[in-house]
Amino acid sequence: MEVAGLTLAGGATFSCTYLLIRRILLSGFSHKISIDILCDLSLKIVSSLQAIASFTIGNIIATACQGNIMTDRHWLTNSYAVFALPYFVYDVVAMYEVHYHQYKEIQKKPLLFGIQHFLRRNKAMMIHHIVLPIIFYPAIILLRKGYGDFFVGIFYQIELAIPFIVFRGALAELNMKDTALYVISGLLMIVTFAITRVTVFPYLYWKYSIHANISFWEVPWNIPIKCNVGCLIILVLQVYWLAIMVKGAVRVFYKMYITRI
């Protein structure tokens, strides 16, 4: 009953927040900005709010579980996983609304045509939104057997990079790519992404080495292989995305340099 209540509360929170923000933006800026951009900005704001909530809750959990990082428990660990699960469903529906307003040709077509059109153009995000909850939800709720709340708290905090990513995307949508704010937001995005998504893995191994009283280099041989494989897969993906961000930043700075010559 508690799980069902938290799940419904999460779905209602994300959906209602999006609808409220969208209504405010449409009532105030629809005469200046197209509806697809306003819907996308609403989507980005909700993503940022979810990321901030995840970071805050993760920080609370990790701070509370410093005594014994393997056995210390915090009630928010599982509760937030249940509460946040509907976010992935909400996000897909909200993304479809943005897509619907972006592509006029699907507005007079049957719903199934629009959905197929949407899925073809958002394959990577759909895979992300399906695979992530399928893997991590049971891992957090069932497979841990009550161990490692500290590590879950740390992983909740990797969402800190999201507000910087979506803010930069919002500036691009508002045709502000040539502003100093766009450049600064890009640099902050790279720094926060590198810290929260890449260096977090050495940090977790270091914390475990202290807990187990072994050297950092011995950690991979003293934890289950599934932990090493899982961390490696996630790390490779994060390094890949970080490389794309750095490449984009270099391109922006090179363009600025050429313009000034």
Structure tokens at 232: 């490696």
Longest dimension (CA), the chain: 66
Q: What is the pLDDT of residue 16?
A: 96
Distant-in-sequence, close-in-space partners of 9: CB < 8 Å, separation ≥ 6: 83
Domain ranges of the chain: 1-160, 176-261
Quick one: DSSP state of residue 214?
-
Across 154-180, b (16+ Cβ under 10 Å) vs e yields: bbbbbbbbbbbbbbbbbbebeeeeeee
- Per-chain mean pLDDT for the chain: 91
**Could you read off the pLDDT of 75-103 as tens digits, one per residue?**
999 999 999 999 999 999 999 999 999 99
Q: Average of pLDDT values for 19-37?
A: 91
Q: What is the pLDDT of residue 143?
A: 84
Number of C-alpha atoms within 13 angstroms, CB side, residue 60?
11
For residue 72, pLDDT over 60 is answered with yes
The rounded distance, in Å, linking the Cα atoms of 65 and 60 is 9
For residue 1, pLDDT over 60 is answered with no
E-state strands within 87-177: none
Q: Average of pLDDT values for 183-206?
A: 93
For residue 151, pLDDT over 80 is answered with yes
Structure tokens at 235: 């790390």
For residue 260, pLDDT over 80 is answered with no
Q: What is the pLDDT of residue 158?
A: 93
Q: What is the pLDDT of residue 254?
A: 76
Of the candidates 28, 63, 54, the residue with the CA atom closest to the CA atom of residue 158: 54
**Could you read off the pLDDT of 201-243 as tens digits, one per residue?**
999 999 999 999 999 999 999 998 988 988 898 899 889 999 9
Give the 3-state secondary structure percentages of the chain, helix then strand then coil, rounded to 5: 85, 0, 15
